[in-house]
Amino acid sequence: MVLEYQALTTQDYIDLEKKYGANNYKPLDVVLTRGEGIWVWDVEGHRYLDFLSAYSAVNQGHAHPRILQALIDQAQRLPLTSRAFRNDQLPLLAKELCELTGYDKMIPMNSGAEAVETALKLARKWGYKVKGVAEDQAQIIVCSGNFQGRTISIISFSDEPQYRDGFGPFTPGFVTVPYGDLEALERAITPDTVAFSVEPIQGEAGVVMPPPGYLRAAADLCKQHNVLFFADEIQSGLGRSGKLFASDWEDVRPDMIAIGKALSGGFYPVSAVLTDSQVMDVLRPGDHGSTFGGNPLGAAVARMALRVLIEEGMIDNARQVGAYLLERLRQIASPHVKEVRGRGLLIGVELRPEAGGARRFCEALRAEGLLCKETHDHVIRFAPPLIITRAEVDWALERIERVLRTA
Ligand SMILES: Cc1ncc(COP(=O)(O)O)c(C=O)c1O
């Protein structure tokens, strides 16, 4: 049977996905078909302001023309080589990324979870080969409330019961400390500790901010104990917080950083780990890899995604417009709001328990032409593309205010 796609309605698409797709997401029932800049359109022709940016993967805005052109050009030339052969894009991405961030070396991957896995493997191997930890004894300290992906090893250190339920047995070697608690971190460090893994802002936990000074002090502690400070900047990095990395807010230079999402401007899964030679050089040919990691299409897209982020002033814009949005949100007098927090254009509005959950507010905002999503039950996350202007934020604020006051 050939389906007449043009004639399908929103409900048809929802029914098809329900019938043929896994039930592992609970999306808002809007079926998007086109995007440009900060705007997206559904199959019925309604226009929405995207206030989520694909969980911060579309920092540069939808279908950014320069990234699109880089994708088309490279796709026409050579999309994939595998790492069995070299290609003429990966070395340039590696150079540009290292020059931009000040790290010695990078390793390319695809999804964020793969970058995190790569960083964990690097930390363990560094622990055994350089630090001198006894075989199979390496420990990695993680934070409560973490979200770093969905692989079995990563969910092994999640404290969210649903992410683990039914997926055991789990990978050992992880120790959890409360996010923001320095004393607990210090107590947890042993001679076998190889790394401390931390999100400089916990996006999925509900835009949870670190207490002031925490990242700086945690990085100092790690240095003191010869432990790698690993910052997962997959969501908070690449301009989202108003600086290149959220760690920059405390002048912290992590020993290792994972990036993904906006590294491709939303066109294609591209991720990477950045670190210095004494860590990266523990890897030998055959130790780790990925068929698609470092492919020329992804590398060309990432090169342009980084260029437009810098050249088009998106990071400064995120800082300025984000500060304005945060301040204006805090001024909204709503009986439902418990706290507004965030940095740059990564903002969480936490609702009071009696507000009836964040979902209904997201539904009401959708009806007003604004797309955002609840994180956990009580937080609405606002994370528009970093190209948004103050006037466009005003357009959004008018609707947010109406919904937060009256819904
Ligand atoms: C901080 C952080 N790390 C890792 C990931 C996993 O990235 P991916 O979904 O691309 O595997 C996410 C995704 O939301 C994230 O927010």
Q: Calculate the CA 332 to chain-centre distance.
A: 28
Q: Which ligand 1 atom lies nearest to the CA of residue 235? A: 16
Mean pLDDT of the chain: 97
Tokens of 354: 């009696």
Whether ligand 1 lies within 6 angstroms of the CB of 260 is answered as: yes
Range of the domain at 145: 65-311
Given a cut of 90, is residue 163 above it in pLDDT?
yes
* Overall average pLDDT of the 227-239 stretch: 98
Examine the domain organization and report whether 357 and 328 are in the same domain. yes
> Which tokens is 201 given?
């802002």
Same domain for 53 and 90: no
- Give the pLDDT of residue 6: 64
Residues with a known catalytic role: 147, 232, 261
Ligand 1 centroid, distance to 230 Cα (angstroms): 14
If asked whether residues 149 and 249 sit together in one domain, one would say yes
Distance (Å) from CA 267 to ligand 1 centroid: 16
Q: Is there a single domain that holds both residue 272 and residue 163? A: yes
Q: Are residues 153 and 289 in the same domain?
A: yes
Residue 44: partners with Cβ closer than 8 Å, 6 or more residues away: 9, 10
- Regarding whether 331 and 293 lie in a shared domain, the answer is no
Residue 272 CA, ligand 1 centroid: distance in Å: 12
Q: What is the pLDDT of residues 30-49, one digit of tens each?
A: 999 999 999 999 999 999 99
Please tell me if the CB atom of residue 117 comes closer than 6 angstroms to any atom of ligand 1. Answer: no
Looking at residue 7, what is its pLDDT? 82
- Is there a contact between 306 and 374 (Cβ–Cβ < 8 Å)? no
Q: CA–CA separation, 179 vs 162, rounded Å?
A: 20
**How confident is the model at residue 267, as a pLDDT?**
97
Query: Using 50, 70 and 90 to split pLDDT, how confident is the model at 355?
Result: very high
Give CA–CA dist 330/340, Å, rounded. 6
Q: What is the pTM of this model?
A: 0.97
118 lines ligand 1 (CB under 6 A): no
**Whether residues 292 and 339 fall in one domain:** no
**Residues 6+ positions from 143 with CB-CB distance below 8 Å:** 176, 177, 178, 179, 180, 197, 198, 199, 202
Q: Give the residue from 311, 346, 369 where a domain finishes.
A: 311
Q: Which of 322, 344, 339, 288 is nearest to 393 (CA)?
A: 322
Cβ of 259 closer than 6 Å to ligand 1, yes or no, is no
Atom of ligand 1 nearest to the CA of 236: 1
Cα 234 to middle of ligand 1, angstroms = 6
Candidates 234, 290, 375: which one to mutate for ligand 1, based on the most atoms within 8 Å of Cβ? Answer: 234
Distance CA 85, CA 334 (A): 59
Query: What count of Cα atoms within 13 Å lies in the side-chain half-sphere of residue 140?
Result: 30
Is the beta carbon of 214 within 6 A of some atom in ligand 1? no
Protein residue with least CA distance to atom 7, ligand 1 = 112
Q: Are 280 and 353 in the same domain?
A: no
Going from the C-alpha of 46 to that of each of 27, 50, 72, 172, 387, the distances in angstroms are 17, 12, 28, 48, 21
| Same domain? 300 vs 318 | no
Whether the link from the prior residue into 169 is cis, omega within 30° of 0, is yes
pLDDT score recorded for residue 406: 87
Measured from the CB, is residue 200 less than 6 Å from ligand 1?
Answer: no
- CA dist 31 and 43 (Å) reads 6
pLDDT tens digits along 120-156: 999 999 999 999 999 999 999 999 999 999 999 999 9
Q: Closest ligand 1 atom, CA of 260?
A: 10
Q: What percent of the chain has pLDDT over 70?
A: 99
DSSP state of 127: I
CATH number at residue 143: 3.40.640.10
Is residue 234 within 6 Å of ligand 1 at its C-beta? yes
Q: For residue 336, give the CATH number of its domain.
A: 3.90.1150.10
Residue tagged 């999503």 (tokens):
373
Ligand 1 atom with least separation from CA of 111: 10
Residue 3 has pLDDT above 70, yes or no: no
Give the β-pairing of 139-143 and 174-177.
parallel
Confidence tier at 407 by pLDDT (50, 70, 90): confident
Cα 303 to middle of ligand 1, angstroms: 20
Hey, what are 109's tokens? 């991957």
**What DSSP element (H or E) covers 281?**
none
- pLDDT one-digit tens code per residue, 88-109: 999 999 999 999 999 999 999 9
In the prediction, which pLDDT does 1 show? 54
Q: Do residues 289 and 354 share a domain?
A: no
User: Does residue 159 have a pLDDT over 80?
Assistant: yes
- Total number of domains in the chain: 2
Last residue within a domain, chosen from 279, 311, 343: 311
Res. 336: pLDDT tops 80: yes
Of the pLDDT bands very low, low, confident and very high (cuts 50, 70, 90), residue 5 is low
Between CA 347 and CA 331 the distance in angstroms is: 14
**Choice from 59, 111, 147, 292 to test ligand 1 binding pocket (greatest atom count within 8 A of CB):** 147
Please report the pLDDT score of residue 4 as a whole number.
Answer: 57
pLDDT tens-digit series, residues 44-87: 999 999 999 999 999 999 999 999 999 999 999 999 999 999 99
Give residue 279's pLDDT.
98
